[in-house]
Amino acid sequence: MPIESIRSARKRARQHGAMEYSDAPVDLDQVRRYRLGRLRHEMARANVSGLLLFDQINTRYATDATNMQVWCSHYETRCVFVALDGPVVLFDYAHHPHLAEGLPGVDEYRVIPAFYFFSAGPRGDSRVNQFADQIDELMRVHSGGDRQLGIDRLSFAACDALRDRGLNLFEGEGIAEQARAVKSKEELVLMQASMTVCEQACDAMQQYLAPGVTENALWAQMHEANIRLGGEWIETRLLSSGPRTNPWFRECSMRAIERGDLVSFDTDLIGPYGYCSDISRSWLCGDKPNDAQRRLYGAAYEQIETNIATLAPGRSFRDVSEDCWKIPSQYLSQRYPSLMHGVGLADEYPSIKHHVDLKDKGYDGVLSPGMVLCVESFIGVEGGREGVKLEEQVIITDDGVARMSSYPFETDWL
């Protein structure tokens, strides 16, 4: 369906995909145009004339259209085609054109001929060929003869069908990640709105924390506040207490929190406007931490503050890694997998590795103004009872770094 007919439908409040916001703090259309421009800039750098996006975070970035984002992430049921010099075509799960109404970056709305097994069953081959024919046609009409198509993720059957039509396929996830890495000033305003909701949700949890409360019941306070205040979902369930805090990455359970336990969590919250707020804190269920808890917390806090101080525009990832806090040997084996990572609509590029991991896992790059980073710490002794998880979200500015999160640390423990 041409987008003109969508725009001529009945007037609505200014939509944000499936969400409607009447009081956005910035012009959402300006954000949408900026993000599409970033994608096309990276497409030009990568020498691709078309980009096919199935990752629902990337489709959101390109169009701001949403449709059951978590559910659609399980299936190849919804995608966006972006022409370098041509239209943006949204292939939706079903005929719901009202979900693209009012979005300036969507030029055409189609229903995808779904080829994943749940939907197509034994008809998958014919459906995948229908889809490949449509992408081939778009490339022929709008690419000026160029056959270079970037794809973020797609099953081998669809990739084979596209190659059979003479298209040259290139890795497109990096194109999207590089585009998403640098935020406009309007995006930063929306990210701050998400952080405000995140911090109110943290406060709801902290007020609810008491002996006998289960980890799940405590984490539910985060979900309730986020949804009530206009957020969307939470990507993980990373909250644990007492002996479940070490090693890290246990998700919350029905364990009843006991007096004297540390409680550590990582928000991973997708708040209003689809932006992620990713901070971590560790609290005490009780009045006074013991000496071991103080030592763990002090080390984690020192790591966070030292590592934030290494950040500045123009610095390389490698230089940052080499200048970060040197983890004492007793905590090294339990270190968090990265020193810091980007964040926007989700966790994203870059991932800056510890100095000891650079050779095997690291890659280089340069910090730029407009990048938003989450600075990570987990401190726990292998075999120890508890661990402390801290994380702070910051913006790379023209002349340094600014904090996006302001939720307090337990500085009276230091």
CATH number at residue 321: 3.90.230.10
Same domain, 337 and 295: yes
Q: For 13-27, 110-124, 275-289, which range has the lowest pLDDT when averaged over its residues?
A: 13-27
Q: b or e along 345-383 (b: 16 or more beta carbons within 10 Å of the residue's beta carbon)?
A: bbbbbbbbbbbeebeeebeebebeebbbbbbbbbbbbee
Q: Is the pLDDT of residue 20 over 90?
A: no
Of 35, 28, 26, nearest to 14 by C-alpha is 28
Q: Is the pLDDT of residue 34 over 80?
A: yes
Boundary of a domain, candidates 180, 209, 240: 180
pLDDT of residue 23: 86
Same domain, 94 and 208: no
Question: What is the arithmetic mean of pLDDT over 272-299?
Answer: 98
Question: What is the arithmetic mean of pLDDT over 9-13?
Answer: 32
Q: Is the pLDDT of residue 163 over 50?
A: yes
Structural contact between residues 298 and 414, judged by C-beta atoms closer than 8 angstroms? yes
Same domain, 232 and 343: yes
Same domain, 399 and 252: yes
Same domain, 187 and 163: no
Helix (H) or strand (E) holding 303: helix 291-308
Question: Residue 60: which residues within 8 A CB-CB, separation 6 or more?
Answer: 17, 66, 69, 274, 345
Same domain, 262 and 405: yes
Please report, for the chain, how many H helices and E strands are present, in that order. 14, 19
Tens-digit pLDDT profile for residues 55-113? 999 999 999 999 999 999 999 999 999 999 999 999 999 999 999 999 999 999 999 99
Structural contact between residues 73 and 53, judged by C-beta atoms closer than 8 angstroms? no
Structural contact between residues 115 and 128, judged by C-beta atoms closer than 8 angstroms? yes
Helices (H), 64-123: 69-72, 117-120
Q: Count of domains in the chain?
A: 2
Tens-digit pLDDT profile for residues 319-352? 999 999 999 999 999 999 999 999 999 999 999 9
Distance (Å, whole) CA 90 – CA 81? 7
What are residue 166's phi and psi, to 5 degrees?
A: 85, 15
Range of the domain at 205: 182-413
Distance (Å, whole) CA 254 – CA 219? 11
Boundary of a domain, candidates 180, 212, 236: 180
Same domain, 173 and 81: yes
Q: How confident is the model at residue 11 (pLDDT cuts 50, 70, 90)?
A: very low
* Mean of the per-residue pLDDT values of the chain: 94
Same domain, 192 and 146: no
Same domain, 371 and 329: yes
Same domain, 170 and 187: no
Structural contact between residues 268 and 234, judged by C-beta atoms closer than 8 angstroms? yes
Tens-digit pLDDT profile for residues 368-397? 999 999 999 999 999 999 999 999 999 999
Q: How many CB atoms lie within 10 A of CB 97?
A: 18
Tens-digit pLDDT profile for residues 44-64? 999 999 999 999 999 999 999
Q: Is the pLDDT of residue 10 over 60?
A: no
Of 390, 29, 368, nearest to 190 by C-alpha is 29
pLDDT of residue 22: 67
pLDDT of residue 13: 32
Q: How confident is the model at residue 120 (pLDDT cuts 50, 70, 90)?
A: confident
Q: How confident is the model at residue 18 (pLDDT cuts 50, 70, 90)?
A: very low
Structural contact between residues 53 and 79, judged by C-beta atoms closer than 8 angstroms? yes
Of 229, 202, 215, 304, nearest to 262 by C-alpha is 215
Question: What is the arithmetic mean of pLDDT over 159-166?
Answer: 98
* Residue position matching structure tokens 């190659």: 163
Q: Is the pLDDT of residue 206 over 80?
A: yes
Same domain, 289 and 367: yes
pLDDT of residue 194: 98
Q: What is the CATH number of the domain that holds 9?
A: 3.40.350.10
Distance (Å, whole) CA 280 – CA 388? 9
Structural contact between residues 62 and 68, judged by C-beta atoms closer than 8 angstroms? no
Q: Is the pLDDT of residue 15 over 70?
A: no
Boundary of a domain, candidates 151, 180, 209: 180
Of 61, 177, 67, 81, nearest to 137 by C-alpha is 81
Q: Quickly list DSSP for 171-184.
A: E-HHHHHHHHHS--
Q: Is the pLDDT of residue 264 over 60?
A: yes
Same domain, 196 and 149: no
What is the bridge-based pairing of β-strands 108-111 and 88-92?
Answer: parallel
Q: b or e along 260-277 (b: 16 or more beta carbons within 10 Å of the residue's beta carbon)?
A: bbbbbbbbbbbbbbbbbb
- Cα angle at 42 between 59 and 101, to 5 degrees? 30
End-to-end Cα spacing for the chain: 61
Tens-digit pLDDT profile for residues 234-254? 999 999 999 999 999 999 999
Distance (Å, whole) CA 66 – CA 57? 9
